[in-house]
Amino acid sequence: MLLNLAISLTHIPLKSGVYLLKDKSSKIIYVGKAKCLRERVRNYFTPPYSSKTRALNSKIDSIDYIVTDSEIDALVLEANLIKLHLPHYNIRLKDDKKYPYIKITIQDKFARVFPTRDLRDRSAIYFGPYTDVKSMKHALKSATEIFPIRVCKSKDRSQKTENRKQKSEDKKSKSSKVCLAYHIGKCPGPCEGKISVPAYKETIQELIDFLSGKSNKVEEKLKSKMQELSKRLDFEEAAKIRDKLTSIQSIILKQQVVFSKPIDLDVFGLARRRSQSCVAITIVREGRILGQEHYILHIQSKSTDGEIIRAFILQYYKTAFYIPQEIVLPEIDEQKEIEKWLNRPISIPQEREKLELIKFATRNAEVWLKSQQVERVNKALDELKNYLKLPTLPRRIEAYDISNIGGKYAVGSCVLFVNGKAQKSGYRKFRIKTVVGINDVAMMKEIITRKTRTYAQKPQTDNRKPITVKLPHLVLVDGGIGQVRAARKCLPAEIPVFGLAKRFEQLYTPENKVISLPKSSSALRLLQRIRDEAHRFAFFYHKKIRDHSLF
């Protein structure tokens, strides 16, 4: 198939664009962009191959492409197609649809501001995405308290109010009542003509500047407006402006100053582990740290840091309303192309201040990634306790497996997981001694009997270190009802035991009950990982003995 694909490359044009690699089911497994499509795609079929390319080549069945007018257009199209198709081999934001934005409907006569996850309205302005919903709601609450705007969900009613003037005085008086939000100062009442269109638009612009982090600009503008109102002896309105200024200044005081000059930056840090990475963004506006956002990405293990940052930049800034004057990164692939697309300089710093911010963001990414992993494990353990009706949270899980070939070179394994992590010091391997022939149930009984002897031992102590025996909260055996019942006879009564069969991924109890966990549940994924580790450990011991015997 690769040969046929290589021959068909002559039909791919020598132009910029996006190529789509598909598998046998015509599913898109990778989306990439290229300055020259034919040359870029040819690299997939020209040795030497990287490990990542080899893995991708084994899945490619067909190639499609889209020609674009420029390389910048290809960058944008690539980001859109990745978000649309979620290809397996692309780096992409994990569940990026869940992140909320702040939406401003500037196309309306009297714009609204509210949180949303729907980005289909291209005529509106969006701020975000926000990974922390609480911080987003706090920012929105602070902004709307300082700059009151329309809160009702109905569309502009000012025209309807004018039409109602021709009706009776009773109906007119009822319809012209403003809502409670107006009376408590949460809304300026545009639907009933309590504020002019230019004045409302000015408030919206101040709100946009505030959300963009341009606090100094808003502060200077409000000071100028307050002085003007004072000169005109309009002290009531001047007092309102003074209250806004006080609120803004109290927010500014809470922000950490990192630069002496008013500079706007987005500083990125990266942490990675296996198939996931975390990008932390430190947001600096006018020389002050406004906050930090964290994003989890699905990655391939062979992806470089530069590839990950590049893929994230494309997805993050694709919908951004405001891009700062400089972007600070640890590294990035295709830097010049990304700079052209953003129309902003990208710096990989060597100087002290920006380098320290990179380290700060990286540390936060590492902490966030670790906390997410702990959170996932805790969720899986909670699900296990509930699904299996366990008396306690299964923080210590032992798993057993048998490996042999026709009853020969038979071995067993025991692996230990504590809080969802493999604890190698608790691993044990067994050479089957009493069972002859093919009898996995008897073999399982033998290894668990030998392992439980350690449970029966009394705790021993010496003058220095106490030695205690910790019982597992859950025992998992690889197999069905036969293996489970054999294990139940050997284990203390207080230890729950279940079997996990590979065929249907169902759990078996000693009472011959079948428990089916949801396929997408964290609990099932954790049990599968533990079962597979027990199988791996047993198989490699079996292979070692078999190879030693044969050679």
Concatenating the DSSP letter of every residue in 363-391 gives: HHHHHHHHHHHHHHHHHHHHHHHHHHT-S
Helix axes 235-253, 133-146, angle to 10 degrees: 150
CA distances from 494 to 80, 398, 489, 515 (A): 54, 14, 12, 20
Work out the end-to-end distance of the chain between its first and last CA atoms, rounded to an integer number of angstroms: 38
Q: Is the distance from CB of 532 to CB of 526 less than 8 angstroms?
A: no
Angle between helix axes 305-317 and 335-342 (nearest 10 degrees) is 10
- Cβ proximity of 247 and 146 under 8 Å: yes
Q: Where are the alpha helices (DSSP H) in 103-234?
A: 133-146, 158-163, 169-175, 180-183, 197-211, 215-231
Report the alpha-carbon distance of residue 197 to residue 110 in Å, rounded: 7
Cα atoms found within 13 Å of the Cα of residue 214, Cβ hemisphere only: 15
CB atoms within 10 A of CB 488: 20
- Domain architecture of the chain: domains with CATH: 2-88 (3.40.1440.10), 97-213 (no CATH), 265-372 (3.30.420), 389-458+468-550 (3.30.420.340)
- Under DSSP, is residue 20 helix (H, G, I), strand (E, B) or coil? strand
Per-residue pLDDT of the chain (551 residues; tens, 9 = 90+): 444 555 467 778 888 889 988 888 888 989 988 888 888 888 887 777 777 777 787 888 888 888 888 888 888 888 888 877 888 888 877 655 567 888 888 888 888 888 888 777 778 888 777 777 777 777 777 777 777 787 666 544 444 444 444 444 444 444 446 676 677 666 777 777 777 888 888 888 888 877 777 766 677 777 777 777 777 777 777 777 777 767 666 655 555 555 667 788 899 999 988 778 899 998 888 777 777 888 888 887 778 899 899 989 988 888 777 888 889 999 998 888 899 888 889 988 877 778 888 888 898 888 888 887 788 888 999 999 999 999 999 999 999 999 998 888 999 999 999 999 899 999 999 999 998 888 999 999 999 999 988 776 555 555 555 555 689 999 999 988 999 999 999 999 899 999 998 777 889 999 989 999 988 888 999 999 999 999 999 999 999 998 888 77
pLDDT at 453: 84
Burial of residue 278 (CB within 10 Å: 0-12, 13-18, 19+) is: buried
- Residue 24: CB atoms within 10 Å: 10
- The DSSP bridge partners found for residue 476 are 399, 498
In whole angstroms, give the CA distance from residue 467 to residue 461.
Answer: 6
Spatial separation of the C-alpha atoms in residues 281 and 295, rounded to whole Å: 9
pLDDT of residue 44: 82
Q: Strand order in 125-127's β-sheet?
A: 113-116, 101-104, 125-127
As a whole number of angstroms, the distance between CA 262 and CA 249 comes to: 16
Residue with tokens 């002019």: 196
Q: Are 37 and 17 in contact (CB under 8 A)?
A: yes
Give the per-residue pLDDT at 473: 94
Residue type, 524: L
Gyration radius of the chain over CA positions: 32
User: How many angstroms separate the CA atoms of 394 and 420, rounded?
Assistant: 9
| Residue (of 400, 427, 402) closest to 416 by Cα position | 427
Are 332 and 351 within 8 A, CB to CB? no
The secondary structure of the chain in percent helix, strand, coil, rounded to multiples of 5, reads: 45, 20, 35
Full-model pTM: 0.59
Report the alpha-carbon distance of residue 20 to residue 31 in Å, rounded.
5
pLDDT of amino acid 360? 87
Cα 12 vs. chain centroid, distance in angstroms?
35
- Helical (H) or strand (E) element with 71: helix 71-85
**In the prediction, which pLDDT does 255 show?**
52
Q: How many angstroms separate the CA atoms of 116 and 126, rounded?
A: 9
Q: Residue 86's CB: how many other CB atoms inside 10 A?
A: 14
Say how many residues make up the chain: 551
* Three-class SS state of 28: strand
- With contact defined as beta carbons under 8 Å apart, do 335 and 346 qualify? yes
What is the reported pLDDT for 431?
Answer: 93
Question: Among 388, 439, 451, 454, which residue's Cα sits nearest to residue 414?
Answer: 451
Label residue 511 exposed, middle or buried (CB < 10 Å: 0-12, 13-18, 19+): exposed
